[in-house]
Amino acid sequence: NAGVTQTPKFQVLKTGQSMTLQCAQDMNHNSMYWYRQDPGMGLRLIYYSASEGTTDKGEVPNGYNVSRLNKREFSLRLESAAPSQTSVYFCASTSRRLTNEKLFFGSGTQLSVL
């Protein structure tokens, strides 16, 4: 069972370039999330999708866009990358069938913007 799969695992961009981080889950979860984690820090919520067809801003949405393509996939796009977006990006999902379900995380994408 793959769980939450993120691609790519590593990426180096130049300032101004664009890219899309892909995330897919095979657990039939309703809710999906994108977080960023800076060195030695906690996770900050960028965007989330409570259910298929809906997306909402989190704590740090500026410079990012998202697409909930279907129930399985939730992508994060950087239109014009900036050095401040150098971080590790985590995708997570949860079922929300019950309250307080745990988050399942992917293994992360390490992004460097030069």
Residue numbers at the binding site for other proteins (CB under 8 A): 4, 31, 33, 35, 40-45, 48, 50, 54, 56, 58-59, 90, 92, 94, 96, 99-100, 102-103, 105-108
State the residue for tokens 């996939």: 73
Nearer to other proteins, 2 or 14 (CB): 2
Nearer to other proteins, 44 or 71 (CB): 44
Nearer to other proteins, 17 or 108 (CB): 108
Q: Is residue 15 classed as helix, strand or coil in its secondary structure? A: coil
**Cβ of 110: how many Cβ atoms within 10 Å?**
15
Residue 6 CB, shortest distance to other proteins, in Å, is: 9
List, in order, residues 6 or more apart from 55 with CB less than 8 Å away: 47, 48, 49, 66, 67, 68
Length of the chain: 114
Residue 83 CB, shortest distance to other proteins, in Å, is: 22
